[in-house]
Structure 1
Amino acid sequence: MNTFYLKVIAADRIFHNGRCESLILPTLDGMVGVLANHENMVIAVVEGDIKIRMEDGNEINAVVGLGFFEMVNNRARLLVQTAEKPEEIDIRRAQEAQERAQERLRQQQSIREHYHTQATLSRAMNRLKVSRKYK
């Protein structure tokens, strides 16, 4: 099968760097699949899980934060705030973050604080979902 070059860059590290057959990622309009020789594009990425199918058929599953995806000349770059494999997720920490965010939502907040708390809750819930799904 045809492959393309993919580099996944998180704020703290290069998560993946190599060739792959396909990539499925979360966008504002839903999940998007990318194969080799896909048309050039730039799209916004939302928090969610990605699936990278490698040349050898193995899959890498991960949870990513907000970012952007770019495909140009069969070379793809995914720039995200965070990228974690399910086994890297600290489940206890994610549960505690979820509980703190739920408690903050029950309290009166400014609109800005409310949206920040919702984003924190969404991130924690997504990390928990991915850790349970792939373990």
Structure 2
Amino acid sequence: MMISFQLEIVTPTKILDEGQVEYVRCPGLDGSFGVLANHREAVFGLGVGEIKVTQNGKDHYLATSGGFAEVSKEKMELLLETYERAEEIDTSRAEAALQRAQERKEAKHIDAARNEVSFLRALNRLKVSKR
């Protein structure tokens, strides 16, 4: 059995104690990174992407729109703008958001950078929902 550590997820609206986990993989700003128990203390910026959590030998997936990860030897805190568990993602809503973002790419009055983030978030939600 692998050594575990505490995982806590904090959003602007709630704090969730996920309990003991063996592994967490996150979408860092410079690429994905993984955390095991007794990791060196660190703070990472997170981008839009998939978070993989291994708990009791089972993998669980979350979609996030970014935030920060704070790691210590015994605990990891994910400070996230938003997150959704794979099984909770409303795929029809995500598909509609993706469609809107694709249609807006051609519009002149839309902020291109903001639209690109919307596109990436919707695409990520659809990818994670298939896990």
TM-score (norm 2): 0.91
Contact 1:26 1:47 in 2 (8 A): yes
What does 1:4-83 correspond to in 2, within 5 Å?
4-54=5-55, 56-83=56-83
One-letter code aligned to 1:21: E
Q: Which runs of 5+ in 2 are unaligned?
A: none
Contact 2:38 2:72 in 1 (8 A): no
Aligned residues: 130
Contact 2:37 2:73 in 1 (8 A): no
1:29: how far off? Answer: 1.6
Q: Which runs of 5+ in 1 are unaligned?
A: none
1:119: how far off? Answer: 0.5
The C-alpha deviation readout for 1:23-56, integer Å capped at 9, x for no partner, is: 01111121101000000000101111111111x2
Q: Cα distance 1:60–1:8, how it changes in 2: closer, same or farther (>3 A)?
A: same
- The 4+ residue runs of structure 1 with deviation greater than 6 A are none
* Aligned residue in 1 for 2:112: 114
TM-score (norm 1): 0.89
RMSD over equivalenced CA pairs, Å:
1.4
State the percentage of identical aligned residues.
37
The C-alpha deviation readout for 1:55-92, integer Å capped at 9, x for no partner, is: x2122211111100001242110011111111211111
Comparing both structures, which one devotes a greater share of its residues to helix?
1
